[in-house]
Amino acid sequence: MTRFASQPRDETDESRAETYEVLALLLSAAPPADVLRALSDLTPDEGSVLGAAWADLAKAAAGTTPEAAEREFFDLFIGVGRGELLPYASFYMTGFLNERPLAVLRGDLAALGVARRAGDHDPEDRIALLCGVMAAFAVGSLTAGEAGPGEALFFNRHLAPWAGMFFDDLEKAPAAKFYAAVGRVGRLFMEIEAQGFALDADATEAA
């Protein structure tokens, strides 16, 4: 079961949620003009590595068009037959689609009360959906009940083993120009998330 949290989260969690939401949006479909415009208007603090990556993403958004971004998205994730990348946990963790990582994820999503949308036939272990789930955890709209995994367990089970590799591949993909900047943000953010959850676990064990 899941429940809706009644307490607001702090600014860090809000920032994490926004990052996950942007990644989920950009990895679900090619960005239209209004999304590119919003990204190009970002003025992140470039004093950190992640902030500099966001600044690069803003520049990349300003330097592309919806048509160019759509071509990139097609070449990267759809292609003729298949795209350059397969953004699925099963593929990265086993080398094949629709394998055990997908089955484990489906069990966890069911325990959290997260159901597949009608008409959605894409496997649930895609990176966009997982980022969307993490965004819901970060804002507190999704929490573990008696049976469901918590935020840290969900991340460590379904994103930590492969998401960093995927974003690294995206950053380096031949077809990626705008999406190379998306990959850089994603790669660095996954590193920060993994470190944060590890520190939380160490603090819990020390308590």
pLDDT in tens, 52-61: 999 999 999 9
Q: Could you tell me the pTM of the whole model?
A: 0.92
pLDDT in tens, 33-58: 999 999 999 999 989 999 999 999 99
Neighbouring C-beta atoms of residue 80, cutoff 10 Å: 7
How far is 62 from 64, CA to CA, in rounded Å?
A: 6
Q: Which residues contact 18 (CB under 8 A, 6 or more apart)?
A: 135
C-alpha triplet 149, 183, 173: angle, nearest 5°: 125
How far is 114 from 107, CA to CA, in rounded Å?
A: 10
H helix count then E strand count, the chain:
10, 2
DSSP 160: T
Pick the CATH number of 10-206 from 2.60.40.1250, 1.10.3720.10, 1.10.3480.10, 2.30.30.100: 1.10.3480.10
- Consecutive H or E run containing 3: strand 2-3
pLDDT in tens, 2-32: 333 334 468 999 999 999 999 999 999 999 9
Q: What is the pLDDT of residue 3?
A: 31
Q: What is the pLDDT of residue 71?
A: 98
- Where exactly are the structural domains of the chain? 10-206
Range name among 74-83, 89-98, 143-152 with the lowest pLDDT average:
143-152
Q: Which ranges constitute the DSSP H helices of 29-126?
A: 33-40, 49-62, 66-73, 89-94, 100-112
Q: Which two tokens stand for residue 159?
A: 């994103």
pLDDT in tens, 135-186: 999 999 998 877 889 999 999 999 999 999 999 999 999 999 999 999 999 9
